[in-house]
Chain A
Amino acid sequence: MIRLEKRPQPSRAFAYLTPVLAVLATFVFGGILFAALGKDPVQSILTIFWEPLFGEFAFFYRPQLLIKGAPLVLIAIGLSLGFKAGIWNIGAEGQYIMGALCGAGFGLAFYPAESALIFPGMVLAGAFGGWLWAMIPALLKVRFGTNEILVSLMLVYVAEQFLASMSLGLLKNPEGFGFPGSRNLQQYQSAHNAELIAGSGMHWGVVAALIAVIFAYVLLARHRLGFAVRVTGDAPRAARFAGVNPSRLILFCLGTSGLLAGLAGLFEVAGPAGQVSIDFNVGYGFTAIIVAFLGRLHPVGIVLAGLLMALTYIGGDIAQSQLGLPAAAIQVFQGMLLFFLLALDLFTNYRLRIGRVETA
């Protein structure tokens, strides 16, 4: 008989080993999935993980790693604070959209004036947009005890409708021959989030992500607020006893994650994406949830996980075009990663016992 036994102490070894094991398990079962689809499993996995880094066109793909990784890390850092405290912001995608809309709207309002103040203003507006969108579930939870998971998730779909309306209406490019979508911010110098070093993929969003990582690390390790987050996640009553105000913590965690998601949206719309369009959002806000957990809700882990997820995105695209793997298979592959991570995570706190069942 197999049974689980709670460990007296969480296993440190397993806390670090779990992500590695989850990646390996994903290789194995992903390989089986690809084989079932009639593709060579080894070649498929090599295409996803090897080609972008060391393949023939790696010079093109490597900067993509930063471009795709930065928003994931930026959003995931914010989410991880809430997740650690048991506050579940599932709507980062919506906050990402609202950040992009507010930021882009701020910049476009000044078009075609050129000023060094426009881009910083857009950053603030983007952060504000994301923060504001996250404050809706936060205030509803604090005031009426609503479930933040549902409210934040539903607000994603509201934000998507908002995005569509803006692309077709208020923010539509007057010189766009009637096509939906805003002016291209890449062609508006004061608003463009350009690469800091040409060809590196390094833009302000990458810098912001790194600052967020350091900020989160110091907060969690050294600051009272980070301690409050961790205690609340482990034992809410103990946190209250220690003087943590649960309402303020909810406002802080949801606010911070919304703010960072909004920033990610702004850096994306002003840089790699270039314009507000109906299909501007590509799911970074949802993938960041996987990134946060894959990184064990630890700032450094999130950086590694963000880069890994970015890799599966880029490699997945290559596999789609070169091997003809369906996009759904790539999504399943990414989903497997989270599934195995959460499943194996159990062994941090439990150990497997094989033996006779004792009723006691």
Chain B
Amino acid sequence: MTPLLSLSGLTKAYPGVIANDDVSLQIAAGEVHALLGENGAGKSTLVKMIYGLVKPDQGEMQMHGAPFAPAEPRAARAAGVGMVFQHFSLFDALTVAENIALGMENAPKLRDLSEQIRQVSDTYGLPLAPNRVVGDLSAGERQRVEIIRCLLQDPKLLIMDEPTSVLTPQEVQILFETLRKLSADGTAILYISHKLEEIRALCDTATILRLGRVVGTCVPRDTTARDMAEMMVGKVLATPTRAGVEPGEIVLALNKLSLPSPSAFGMPLREISLELRRGEILGIGGVAGNGQDELLAALSGETPAPVGMVQFQGADIATLGPNARRKQGLLAAPEERLGHAAAPDMSLTENAMLTGAVRERLDRGGFLNWPAARGFAERIISAFDVRTPGPANAARSLSGGNLQKFVIGREVLQRPEVLVVNQPTWGVDASAAAAIRQALLDLATGGAAVIVISQDLDELMEIADRFAALNEGRLSAPQPTKGLSVEQIGLMMGGAHGMEVAHV
């Protein structure tokens, strides 16, 4: 039987990097095919070629056995390829139907379109009211808008780029039900992810990319997550290890920490209480935008809090600014690497000075000791294997993973009493992520306390001793991670955000 889509020998080179090198794969109708690989493995480039956003240098594609070379996304859509991007392109101020109409070539009247939307959403178990304003929808509901937008074109192949990164476990289950139904109706799905358990649960076949090449294919159900990870990375992964440490005395305590939202798009913090002990790692999960940034800012001192709400080593530090907190040993590494944790156009030496001035004694009476800052930057670079020609290079010249290692390394090397990190391994390749997690574990073993805010639940389960979730600016009561089930975690994260499980 002719496959639905067949790629043979696709090659695409950018200056200095070969994004795809002789990539071949076949997708049958109704197949759920996973495309697996680390950041920078070439997954995005490959699907962009299928969707007509990028032209391959070499190789050819066939759809139903006929040559397929879309010059632009419109041609790809006409041929039956739909794509749901990781980042949504929706207008907050418009309704669901209006948003969908904007993306169509010949949009029918809004009333007819609403009827179609209702039909599709009923058929595939994606409850969605066409007249709701997109700005009021949750991330999961917005994703449904994007999916329905694709389904209205009646696609033969649906490409989904990291669809679950913004969903709670319950929302993931709803999505999977929909995808299974689509697949049963004969629609092929190309599913891009690096979350191995999801792929094992959903996909029929997986193609694994590494450095632009196909390094293997497998049947995910019959392959362990570890084996797939090692194919992805190309080497045996070291599982982070730690010596068991008994939690020590309380070092940081939040007492009903409440702060108003810093901006119109922010999230207020609502009565957050927790006690953090020496030697423990507290994992804080939650869907993005539920107060993660605000909590980090409240802990780092960027947003001072009312008296009494933040206690550090028994003293009230709620009103202190970032440097006063650093002096006492409370350090932080924000999520946004460029522009928040580091100044993009400044050198690594200057970025080492940025947070290291106080604890590394780089500041003597207001005058800055640049040779010492350079030495500190060099220590970070060598201790954390940051790939860069030297400390004089600008922060923005580093790759995301290398800059993240620099940012985490900068704080870890300052011997914190408490370290707060937000998304420490976001967009970082697997081996660098393992190194960062190991550094956090070592820090806790050494008697410091660590708060890891992350949207990667696997990461939190792997390194955290206790787990809590942020939902609408509230923090759930921390639970020991041992024995915590996915359902419990999902409920702590706020369940399905008011969405009901699809009835198909």
A225 part of interface (Cβ distance < 8 Å)? yes
Binds A, one of B181-189, B246-254, B389-397, B493-501: B389-397
Contact residue among B340, B368, B394 (Cβ-Cβ distance under 8 Å from A9): B394
Check if A9 sits within 8 Å of B397, measured CB to CB.
yes
Check if B368 sits within 8 Å of A222, measured CB to CB.
yes
Interface residues of B in 326-374 (CB under 8 A from A): 326, 332, 334, 336, 338-346, 350, 353-355, 357-358, 363, 366-368, 370
Check if A359 sits within 8 Å of B54, measured CB to CB.
yes
Check if A359 sits within 8 Å of B322, measured CB to CB.
no
| Alpha-carbon gap, A60 to B361, bound state (A) | 54
Nearest neighbor of A225 in chain B, beta-carbon distance: B366
| Alpha-carbon gap, A111 to B339, bound state (A) | 56
Check if A223 sits within 8 Å of B366, measured CB to CB.
yes
A360 part of interface (Cβ distance < 8 Å)? yes
| Alpha-carbon gap, A89 to B333, bound state (A) | 33
Contact residue among B54, B324, B355 (Cβ-Cβ distance under 8 Å from A242): B355
Closest Cβ–Cβ distance, residue A237 to chain B (whole Å): 4
Closest Cβ–Cβ distance, residue B460 to chain A (whole Å): 24
| Alpha-carbon gap, A242 to B339, bound state (A) | 11
Chain A hits for B54, CB < 8 A: 358-360
Q: State the interface size on chain B (CB cutoff 8 A).
A: 41
| Alpha-carbon gap, A240 to B341, bound state (A) | 10
B321 part of interface (Cβ distance < 8 Å)? yes
Closest Cβ–Cβ distance, residue B293 to chain A (whole Å): 10
B323 part of interface (Cβ distance < 8 Å)? yes
Contact with B along A209-250 (1 / 0, CB 8 A): 000000000000011110100110011011111110100000
Chain B hits for A243, CB < 8 A: 301, 321-324, 326, 358
Contact residue among B324, B336, B350 (Cβ-Cβ distance under 8 Å from A227): B350
Check if B340 sits within 8 Å of A235, measured CB to CB.
yes
| Alpha-carbon gap, A222 to B323, bound state (A) | 19
Check if B344 sits within 8 Å of A241, measured CB to CB.
no
Closest Cβ–Cβ distance, residue B476 to chain A (whole Å): 27
Interface residues of B in 115-145 (CB under 8 A from A): none
Contact residue among B53, B301, B336 (Cβ-Cβ distance under 8 Å from A360): B53
Nearest neighbor of B71 in chain A, beta-carbon distance: A359
A145 part of interface (Cβ distance < 8 Å)? no
Check if A222 sits within 8 Å of B367, measured CB to CB.
yes
Closest Cβ–Cβ distance, residue A53 to chain B (whole Å): 37
Nearest neighbor of A356 in chain B, beta-carbon distance: B55
| Alpha-carbon gap, A323 to B363, bound state (A) | 57
| Alpha-carbon gap, A227 to B356, bound state (A) | 13
| Alpha-carbon gap, A235 to B300, bound state (A) | 17
Interface residues of B in 40-62 (CB under 8 A from A): 45, 48, 53-54
Chain A hits for B370, CB < 8 A: 222
Q: Tell me whether A241 and B357 are in contact in the complex, defined as CB-CB below 8 angstroms, given that A231-B346, A235-B339 are known contacts.
A: no
Nearest neighbor of B326 in chain A, beta-carbon distance: A243
Check if A241 sits within 8 Å of B322, measured CB to CB.
yes
B302 part of interface (Cβ distance < 8 Å)? yes
Chain B hits for A242, CB < 8 A: 322-323, 354-355, 357
Check if A8 sits within 8 Å of B322, measured CB to CB.
no
A335 part of interface (Cβ distance < 8 Å)? no
Interface residues of A in 319-360 (CB under 8 A from B): 349, 358-360
Chain A hits for B334, CB < 8 A: 241
Closest Cβ–Cβ distance, residue A10 to chain B (whole Å): 6
Nearest neighbor of B332 in chain A, beta-carbon distance: A241
Nearest neighbor of A6 in chain B, beta-carbon distance: B396
Chain B hits for A238, CB < 8 A: 339-343, 354
Check if A230 sits within 8 Å of B346, measured CB to CB.
yes
| Alpha-carbon gap, A224 to B358, bound state (A) | 11
Chain A hits for B332, CB < 8 A: 241
Contact residue among A8, A9, A224, A240 (Cβ-Cβ distance under 8 Å from B302): A240
Query: 4 closest A-B pairs (Cβ-Cβ)?
Result: A243-B323, A243-B322, A235-B343, A8-B397
- Interface residues, chain B, with chain A CB atoms under 8 Å away: 14, 45, 48, 53-54, 72, 300-302, 321-324, 326, 332, 334, 336, 338-346, 350, 353-355, 357-358, 363, 366-368, 370, 393-394, 396-397
Contacts A241-B341, A242-B322 aside, 14 further interface pairs with beta carbons under 8 A come to A9-B393, A223-B366, A224-B357, A224-B367, A227-B350, A234-B345, A237-B336, A237-B339, A238-B342, A241-B322, A241-B340, A242-B355, A358-B54, A360-B53
Interface CB pairs A-B, < 8 A, 15: A9-B393, A223-B367, A224-B368, A225-B366, A227-B350, A234-B344, A235-B343, A238-B340, A241-B300, A241-B332, A241-B354, A243-B301, A243-B326, A243-B358, A359-B72
